[in-house]
Structure 1
Amino acid sequence: MKGPFIKDVTIENFQSVLEESLNHLVLFYFTASWCGPCKTFGPQLEALADEYKGTFLLGRIDVDQEPELAGQFRVQSVPTVFAIYKGQPIHGFSQALPVSEVRRFLDDIIARLGIKAPAPEGPPTDPVKALRYWQDKVKANPADGAALLALGRMLIRNSRVLDAREQFLKIDAKMPEYSAAQAALQTLGLAEQVHEAGGEDAVQARLDADPNDWNARYLLACSAASRGDTLVALDGLIDCVQKAPSEVKEEAKKAAKVVFEAAGRDIPEVEERRRRLTRLLF
């Protein structure tokens, strides 16, 4: 699949891609379907484009389909690569170099010209816009585990627990986000309690009105757990176990057990809180 930093260049879009070099390094890669070395070299360049995450744009040009562009650059053989910056050729080569040499080629140009990778565009801070942002991400790529996880957490914040569960279940075991999704699924029962109480905003309003509302503190800790803020959730639940009335204390113990099981045993900060709770209980 073609990544966001790779473009197929034709005579029609050449000028717009060239204009990209006014702000970014552009590598024009001349190739052909009959070129043996290109079959491995091309994918290697594409992998580097993804690895460098926007520090350079890779423009693929098929010399048979775009002979005018090949002639304009006086391409004599394929593969041929030209580095372009500010509309001007900087350097190039006409062979399938090892990946290590291509990386040195790129790093030298990047360092010499002081080129920096563009800052990644993050989701909007506005909750409504952020929800739409992650919905669009999932629609564009239904297998984007990070987007599925983020969308699920946003849906929880909007008290749409069943919709959130649906997103988490789409994250399969091959995705890096699988463990986080399983943890989120295990804590969704806690989010349902918050939903039944009117949602996070309503619970927060209760606590603002009465700082001694331990049930509200407990519910806010449950809400934090359900959206993945594990340490915040555990701090809140342990506080409830230590100070809350007996009924809330027992619920907090049960919830803490769920959160600890979801978090696993690999996070030192979680283990510190596990020991803290153990000291309170025994």
Structure 2
Amino acid sequence: MIDVTVENFETEVLAASAHVPVLVDFWAPWCGPCKSLGPVLEKLETEYAGRFKLAKIDSDQQQQLAGMFGVRSIPTCMLLMNGQPVDGFTGALPESQLRSFLDKHLPSVAELVANAEEEQALQALAEGDTDTALEKLQHAVMADPANDDARFDYVKLLLQLDRAGDARTAFAPVLAKAAGSRKFGALKAWLDALDFAATGAYDADAEAGFAARIAANKRDFDTRYARARWLMAGQRWTDALDELLEILMRDKGWNDEAARKTCVAVLEIIEPPKPKVAEGQIPPEDPVVASYRRRLSSVVLS
């Protein structure tokens, strides 16, 4: 529990709510119901062990904050997630109703464990420690199999480490989601490219063969697309994007927009994980991804 003022509101409430739900309790020293509600909220914060953060605001001393939330009577509680109020209540509710209110919105213990493991994995990746990152992501997926972000990062890292067999096993439970998910669709495109490259149709001299056929016919889109997928299998992402853009510049609709769709998949794959930020803040954008997104938009809209 923390006492919030105008000075620390942005840090302790808005920014904090990007990582954990924050329950803001507007109270006053003279308010009888506040005195009965406060200790129960503090008890629940302890029992819920990190599933939410309690922030208390003295509405008499912090009238600006009370006005910001439209507080008309106290006690009033507001639950914030990602910088925005998602629910609230007025009055001193009994403990059973408080638990119901919290359980309706708060992440489960499994989700918390998975999120913590995923954050540690991304930190390890930033430090170049792929072994720790892989272990943490595996733990995250095991703790919360429904955590699609953790599974995407886990399968992606397995593929980056050339562990396609393990990646297929980890991807199998969400394969059906690929058609409706940009992230999982991108992973399927990568796996399909690996299957394509493994057919044996292309050997060590494939690069020269592609170049010769394309030189003979700039509009040989089948060969250009084959080369792009071959490059994807070798994780030569920008080369693959360049080849796909060459197709798009000549024929945007070729093969049911296969080039555009594959471009989108590659950009999803090479997009670095973004840190969580408070609502209204924009996470930093990778310059390479940003450049190719602009090029793709320019070609498609031209």
TM-score calculated relative to the size of structure 2:
0.38
TM-score calculated relative to the size of structure 1:
0.40
Structure with higher RCO (Cα < 8 A, 6+ apart): 2
Q: Whose helix proportion is higher, 1 or 2?
A: 2
